[in-house]
């Protein structure tokens, strides 16, 4: 079994949750199910390693010079760190950066933590995309600096319009998995504990 197939099974088993009262998503919408990818990326080091392999393989396949990877904190944080470390193990320097949801009002008062400069080619990572607003929160400050977003890679597309929305803003978003694919492989939302 390859890394992508194994990771799909882990996400389906650990991160697809349900509960009778449902969930309010970051978009503000209600859903009867929820993808808690942190149960995969933070609670299972093996799964995080698989995610970094799948993401780095996608980045390597772009055929473009990629100077850094980053995303909106906190969903992207483990993906960024693990992928950057795996790149280093493979002999490639691929620094990471985090985009804050809001500018901090102390210290350096940065929105972006890490080095992003004009002219850099970057890949934005995220764990889940629903409507696409969180992805745009990561993209906008990066583009404001003058960096170019080569691609957006997300682990799970909930298939609720997020990819089309972000594509409408001129960006290519590539999901590793879709909700339909996870359900088709036998994923059944499990009760939240």
Note the pLDDT tens digit of each residue in 122-143.
999 999 999 999 999 999 999 9
Q: Which residue has the tokens 């992003």?
A: 116
Residue 99 has pLDDT above 50, yes or no: yes
Q: Is the per-residue pLDDT at 174 higher than 90? A: yes
As given in the structure block, the two tokens for residue 27 are 């978009």
Give 106's pLDDT tier (boundaries 50, 70, 90).
very low
Contact 181, 187 (CB under 8 A): no
pLDDT at residue 39 greater than cutoff 70: yes
* C-beta of residue 90 within 8 angstroms of C-beta of residue 96: no
59/38 Cα distance (integer angstroms)? 22
pLDDT averaged over every residue in the chain: 90
Tokens of 35: 């993808």
* In the predicted structure, residue 109 carries a pLDDT above the cut 80: no
pTM for the model stands at 0.91
Structure confidence at residue 190 (pLDDT): 54
Class of domain 3-191: alpha beta
Query: Residue 49 above 90 pLDDT?
Result: yes
- Residue 26 neighbours by CB under 8 Å, 6+ apart: 130, 133, 134
* In the predicted structure, residue 2 carries a pLDDT above the cut 90: yes
Band the pLDDT of 187: cuts 50, 70, 90.
low
Q: Which of 37, 52, 14, 59 is nearest to 189 (CA)?
A: 14
């Amino acid at each position: 079994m390859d890394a992508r197939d194994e990771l799909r099974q882990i996400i389906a088993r650990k991160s697809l949750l349900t509960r009778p009262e449902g969930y309010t998503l970051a978009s503000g919408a209600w859903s009867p199910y929820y993808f808690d990818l942190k149960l995969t990326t933070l609670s299972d080091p093996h799964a995080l390693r698989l995610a970094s392999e799948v993401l780095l393989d996608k980045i390597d396949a772009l055929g473009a010079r990629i100077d850094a990877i980053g995303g909106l904190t906190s969903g992207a944080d483990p993906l960024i760190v693990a992928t950057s470390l795996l790149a280093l193990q493979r002999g490639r320097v691929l620094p990471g950066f985090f985009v804050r949801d809001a500018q901090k009002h102390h210290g350096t008062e940065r929105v972006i933590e890490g080095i992003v400069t004009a002219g850099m080619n970057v890949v934005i990572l995220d764990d889940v995309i629903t409507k696409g607003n969180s992805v745009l929160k990561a993209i906008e400050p990066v583009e404001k600096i003058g960096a170019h977003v080569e691609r957006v890679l997300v682990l799970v597309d909930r298939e609720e319009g997020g990819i089309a929305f972000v594509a409408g803003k001129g960006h290519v978003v590539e999901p590793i998995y879709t909700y339909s694919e996870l359900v088709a492989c036998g994923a059944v939302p499990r009760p939240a504990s």
